[in-house]
Amino acid sequence: MLSALARPASAALRRSFSTSAQNNAKVAVLGASGGIGQPLALLLKNSPLVSRLTLYDIAHTPGVAADLSHIETRATVKGYLGPEQLPDCLKGCDVVVIPAGVPRKPGMTRDDLFNTNATIVATLTAACAQHCPEAMICIIANPVNSTIPITAEVFKKHGVYNPNKIFGVTTLDIVRANAFVAELKGLDPARVSVPVIGGHAGKTIIPLVSQCTPKVDFPQDQLTTLIGRIQEAGTEVVKAKAGAGSATLSMAYAGARFVFSLVDAMNGKEGVVECSFVKSQETDCPYFSTPLLLGKKGIEKNLGIGKISPFEEKMIAEAIPELKASIKKGEEFVKSMK
Ligand SMILES: NC(=O)c1ccc[n+]([C@@H]2O[C@H](COP(=O)([O-])OP(=O)(O)OC[C@H]3O[C@@H](n4cnc5c(N)ncnc54)[C@H](O)[C@@H]3O)[C@@H](O)[C@H]2O)c1
Q: Which of 251, 277, 278 to mutate to test the pocket of ligand 1 (most atoms within 8 A of CB)?
A: 251
Q: Which atom number of ligand 1 is nearest to the Cα of residue 139? A: 1
Beta-strand runs (E) in 14-75: 25-30, 50-57
178 annotated ligand-binding residue:
no
**By three-state DSSP, how is residue 104 classified?**
coil
Phi-psi region of 48 (alpha: psi -120 to 50; beta: other; left: phi over 0): alpha
Cα 145 to the center of its chain, rounded Å:
11
pTM of the predicted protein model:
0.94
33 annotated ligand-binding residue:
yes
pLDDT value, residue 4 = 42
pLDDT value, residue 84 = 98
Residues forming a β-bridge with 104 = none
Q: Which atom number of ligand 1 is nearest to the Cα of residue 36? A: 16
DSSP 8-state code for residue 156: H
Rounded to whole angstroms, the Cα distance separating 50 from 185 reads: 36
pLDDT value, residue 338 = 73
The count of residues in the chain is 338
Q: How far is CA 9 from CA 51, 186, 207, 264, 301, in A?
A: 25, 20, 21, 13, 19
Residue type for position 132: C
pLDDT value, residue 5 = 55
Rounded to whole angstroms, the Cα distance separating 136 from 163 reads: 10
**If you measure from the C-alpha of residue 25 to the centroid of ligand 1, how many angstroms do you get, rounded to a whole number?**
23
158: annotated active-site residue:
no
Q: By alpha-carbon position, which residue is closest to atom 13 of ligand 1?
A: 103
**If you measure from the C-alpha of residue 8 to the centroid of ligand 1, how many angstroms do you get, rounded to a whole number?**
30
Segment 267-287, tens digit of pLDDT? 999 999 999 999 999 999 999
Q: By alpha-carbon position, which residue is closest to atom 15 of ligand 1?
A: 35
pLDDT value, residue 59 = 98
Q: Which atom number of ligand 1 is nearest to the Cα of residue 123? A: 31
**If you measure from the C-alpha of residue 33 to the centroid of ligand 1, how many angstroms do you get, rounded to a whole number?**
9
- What does DSSP say about strands 25-30 and 273-279: parallel, antiparallel, or unpaired? unpaired
Q: Which of 29, 38, 43, 58 to mutate to test the pocket of ligand 1 (most atoms within 8 A of CB)?
A: 58
- What does DSSP say about strands 50-57 and 25-30: parallel, antiparallel, or unpaired? parallel
**If you measure from the C-alpha of residue 64 to the centroid of ligand 1, how many angstroms do you get, rounded to a whole number?**
15
Map the chain to HEC letters: CHHHHCCCCCCCCCCCCCCCCCCCEEEEEECCCCCCHHHHHHHHHCCCCEEEEEEEECCCHHHHHHHHHCCCCCCEEEEEECHHHHHHHHCCCCEEEECCCCCCCCCCCHHHHHHHHHHHHHHHHHHHHHHCCCCEEEECCCCHHHHHHHHHHHHHHCCCCCHHHEEECCHHHHHHHHHHHHHHHCCCHHHCECCEEECCCHHHEEECHHHCECCCCCCHHHHHHHHHHHHCHHHHHHHHHCCCCCCCHHHHHHHHHHHHHHHHHHCCCCCCEEEEEEECCCCCCCEEEEEEEEECCEEEEECCCCCCCHHHHHHHHHHHHHHHHHHHHHHHHHHHCC
Task: With a cut of 70, list the residues of the chain below it in pLDDT.
Answer: 1-22
What is the crossing angle of helices 220-231 and 171-185, to 10°? 140
**Contact indicator for 151, 136 with CB cutoff of 8 Å:** no
Rounded to whole angstroms, the Cα distance separating 82 from 294 reads: 33
In this structure, the residues whose C-beta lies within 6 A of any atom of ligand 1 are: 30-31, 33-37, 56-59, 99-104, 113, 117, 120, 123-124, 140-142, 144, 169, 172, 200, 245-248, 251
Q: Which atom number of ligand 1 is nearest to the Cα of residue 120? A: 31
